[in-house]
């Protein structure tokens, strides 16, 4: 059960019960059960024979490997997933960093578009946007703030959801392969709050809004595991606006306006209701930035081992795995990512949504530009000797994602490139028919 903690007088730190004050006024909650919990890193006592982290980014996790390299043997009381949520400008990044440091967990900051716009060779794709067809000029955050009414805002929103999906799988893969817990800033489960905010300001259209929720419904089941804990920083919209204005970024201030922030705040109520079914929630009145030590103390008081299977679904997915074989199967699922992506995003009717539709001719020209101007090679990422690649292929299995390495952080950073196949590129693999003036004619 979710428990309640008394709010301190004059401070804005420790709130209460998960979502009671935010979701439903006057609701009563049961006290927390004190049992095995997360502990600060100095109190984490691991046995001498505790296994080393599995190098999942360098070495392939195969079926037989997962049988002999046991997953459960790395689990300890801090092998948890914590998600920190809150409105724009609430200061959740600092809280997430401090929690990760206190508990000795890996901190994963909120996804930013720049993470997929600069490739391994240092090429910044934004430098080539004038050569790309419009549909491939995905805005970064600064471009969005500058022109939120652009037709490309929906494309950015779709791309961000894809990458948050990958990032969440990355967090799960880290826990299952190393045993180290993760503090994640935001998640694909709550991503819809930003989509709602963009629609409220007419930054995106109704067609895309419907598609987004269809995509979300298709994708989320492939993540399977919900966070153990959600830390929500409940910050008044006025305070968020004040903090955003302090940045001095006029474009950001104009785009993330009061309507935008109020829609996020209202949508978070729905998000917390979803979280509440599967995760513990600690919510904090964050009018003034409180002391993270108070949050640490509350987390240490929270029981993360007890699953009331007969009463609710909190922690259900984490307790459903009855044996090592089940954990091995999920470890492969979240580490390989590609099969999960096929099921989550394969067959979605993107061609029915005008804002994100891609003309096949544009795909061909994009590939031509990549080969002639960006990579300057007919080969794909990881196979260009001039770029320093050695050509060694470690990714030999049934889940080929097009790169020689066994791991990728985000599909849309480099792995997507191998999947861009059109009739024109099939007949012209070296892109000798490249027309630099294509974008001026279309």
Residue 25 has pLDDT above 60, yes or no: no
Beta bridge partners of 234: 285
pTM: 0.91
Mean pLDDT of the chain: 89
Interatomic CA distance for residues 206 and 409, integer angstroms = 31
Interatomic CA distance for residues 442 and 427, integer angstroms = 22
What are the tokens at 166? 């990958």
Query: What pLDDT score was predicted for residue 387?
Result: 85
pLDDT winner (highest mean) among 61-75, 222-236, 308-322: 222-236
For residue range 85-141, what is the model confidence (pLDDT) as tens digits?
A: 999 999 999 999 999 999 999 999 999 999 999 999 999 999 999 999 999 999 999
In this structure, the strands spanning 229-234 and 81-86 are parallel
182: phi then psi, degrees, rounded to nearest 5: -135, 135
For residue range 372-389, what is the model confidence (pLDDT) as tens digits?
A: 999 999 999 999 988 888
Query: What pLDDT score was predicted for residue 31?
Result: 33
- Quick one: CATH architecture of 73-316+346-350? 3-Layer(aba) Sandwich (3.40)
Interatomic CA distance for residues 186 and 195, integer angstroms = 14
Residue range 426-430: mean pLDDT, rounded: 90
Percent of the chain with pLDDT over 90: 75
Domain residue limits, the chain? 73-316+346-350, 359-401+411-441
Q: If you count DSSP H runs as helices and E runs as strands, how many of each does the chain have, helices first?
A: 18, 5
Contact 72, 324 (CB under 8 A): yes
- Collapsed DSSP state (helix, strand, coil) of residue 258: helix
Q: How confident is the model at residue 394 (pLDDT cuts 50, 70, 90)?
A: low
E strands, 278-398, are 280-285
Closest CA to 176 of 81, 271, 58: 81
Contact 208, 355 (CB under 8 A): yes
């Amino acid at each position: 059960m979710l428990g309640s903690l008394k709010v301190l007088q004059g401070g804005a730190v420790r709130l209460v019960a998960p979502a009671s004050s935010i979701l439903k006024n006057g609701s009563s909650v049961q006290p927390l059960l004190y049992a095995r919990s997360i502990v600060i890193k100095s109190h984490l006592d691991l046995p001498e024979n505790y296994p080393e982290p599995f190098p999942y980014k360098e070495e392939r996790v195969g079926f037989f490997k997962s049988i002999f390299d046991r997953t459960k043997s790395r689990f300890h009381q801090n092998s948890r997933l914590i998600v920190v949520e809150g409105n724009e400008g609430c200061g959740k990044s600092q809280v997430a960093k401090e929690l990760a440091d206190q508990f000795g967990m890996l901190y994963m900051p909120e996804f930013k578009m720049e993470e997929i716009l600069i490739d391994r060779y240092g090429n910044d794709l934004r430098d080539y946007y004038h050569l790309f067809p419009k549909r491939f000029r995905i805005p970064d955050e600064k471009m969005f703030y500058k022109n939120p009414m652009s037709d490309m805002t929906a494309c950015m929103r779709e791309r961000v959801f894809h990458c948050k999906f990958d990032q969440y799988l990355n967090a799960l893969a880290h826990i299952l392969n190393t045993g180290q817990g993760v503090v994640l800033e935001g998640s694909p489960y709550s991503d819809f709050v930003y989509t709602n905010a963009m629609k409220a300001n007419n930054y995106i259209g109704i067609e895309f809004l419907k598609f987004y929720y269809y995509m979300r419904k298709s994708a989320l089941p492939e993540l399977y595991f919900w966070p153990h804990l959600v830390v929500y920083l409940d910050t008044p919209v006025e305070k968020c606006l004040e903090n955003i204005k302090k940045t001095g970024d006029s474009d950001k201030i104009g785009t993330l306006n009061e309507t935008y922030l109020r829609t996020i705040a209202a949508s978070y109520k729905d998000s917390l209701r979803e979280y509440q079914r599967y995760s513990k929630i600690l919510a904090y009145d964050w009018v003034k930035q409180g002391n993270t030590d108070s949050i640490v103390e509350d987390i240490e008081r929270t029981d993360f081992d007890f699953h009331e299977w007969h009463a609710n679904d909190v922690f259900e997915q984490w307790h459903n795995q009855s044996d090592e074989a089940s954990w091995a199967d999920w470890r492969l699922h979240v580490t390989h990512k590609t099969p999960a992506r096929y099921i989550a995003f394969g067959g979605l009717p993107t061609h029915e949504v005008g804002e994100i539709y891609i003309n096949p001719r544009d795909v061909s020209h994009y590939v031509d530009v990549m080969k002639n101007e960006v990579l300057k090679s007919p080969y794909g990422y990881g196979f260009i000797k001039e770029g320093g690649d050695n050509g060694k292929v470690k990714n030999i299995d049934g889940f080929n994602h097009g790169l020689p390495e066994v791991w990728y952080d985000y599909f849309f950073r480099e792995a997507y490139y191998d999947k861009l196949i059109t009739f024109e590129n099939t007949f012209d693999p070296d892109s000798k028919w490249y027309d630099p003036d294509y974008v001026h004619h279309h």
